[in-house]
A = this chain, B = another copy of it.
Amino acid sequence: MNHLITLDDLHDFDQLLKAMQTIQKNPLAHEQLGRHKTLGILFFNPSLRTRISTQKAAQNLGMQCMVMNFNNEGWGLEFEDDVIMNGTTSEHIKEAAGVLSQYFDVLAVRAFASLSDKAKDQAETVLRGFARHSTIPIINLESATAHPLQALADGLTITEFKKTARPKVVLSWAPHPKALPQAVANSFVRLMQRMDTDFVIAQPEGYELDSQLTKNMKVVYSQQEAFDGADFIYTKNWSSFSHYGQVLRTDDAWKITSEKMKMTNNAYFMHCLPVRRNVVVDQAVLESPQSLVLNQARNRIYTAQAVLKSILDEA
């Protein structure tokens, strides 16, 4: 693996899935592997699970970690080529990435979608900028359009809990008062393209994901249709892709409820967290025995660790 920006960068998904399962059973089996290696973690946005689980993964491998919150502790970075930098940015990504490549062995970066500039978000300006100008592997900790480590943890969780070889998995949109990125949903779709499942996406009109990504995927406009016989309900809000970054509705018709879960094949409930209780999903669902949200969060450690181990093994 060179960089991990989206799941498309993974050469062998099945091998990585096996590695995650092995690590999950014995997380400290390779605690000397990362000796003398340093992981840099740059946040351009807030983080809880990703912040801690990524550090934990590095620590389990014996790597050193340095965390930097770029907005508070650094300055504006310039990502455009050939620009006269007399505005608000103080350093070009070419220098920043070049310098950090000398200090770190691996660099993990979080930079959310703006949700205002679709072209810039789609171009993955920040993550692609780091990838292009770094001489070390870049790991995506959620970018404008993708959150591959979350998807990998979700894949590990589904593998862990599935009761049939080919479970029915639903990705269901749910309401939220604020405009959220499509990154988690996008990466979950990419995950499903790698796993053998009966997969269906359910969302209201206007909330269709990028059609380039979902072509050949089953898409429905009814939770009732999607939930029927489902083994896993993966829920997430995202803002509109066609009306880019807009919140088109905030009513609770698409909220996940216990009643809706009864339409499924006693499905497991999944969400990447953070989740707004009783807005996205009723707390009864979240606290039910079928809820896997804590398992997903725990698996974030092993997923990040498998990716880091794969990088260290190749180095």
Contacts and interface: CB of A to CB of B under 8 A. Distances in A.
B99 A283 contact: no
A229 interface: no
A95 interface: yes
A176 to B, nearest CB: 9
A61 to B, nearest CB: 13
A48 B279 contact: no
A90 B274 contact: yes
A47 interface: yes
Contact of A51 (B48, B73, B92, B297): B73
Contacts of A47: 73-74
Copies in the complex: 3
Interface stretch (A62-70, A121-129, A185-193): A62-70
Contacts of A294: 95, 98-99, 102
A79 B222 CA distance: 33
A47 B276 CA distance: 30
B298 A83 contact: no
A250 B86 CA distance: 10
Interface in A77-105: 78, 82-86, 89-92, 94-96, 98-100, 102-104
A113 to B, nearest CB: 16
Interface in A254-271: none
Nearest to A274: B91
A11 interface: no
A52 B69 contact: no
Given A36-B28, A48-B91, A59-B38, A85 B277 contact: yes
A73 B68 contact: no
B99 A277 contact: no
A49 interface: yes
A185 to B, nearest CB: 18
Closest A-B pairs by Cβ, 5 of them: A91-B274, A85-B276, A99-B297, A84-B278, A102-B298
9 contacts: A48-B96, A53-B103, A59-B64, A82-B278, A84-B279, A89-B276, A91-B276, A92-B275, A95-B273
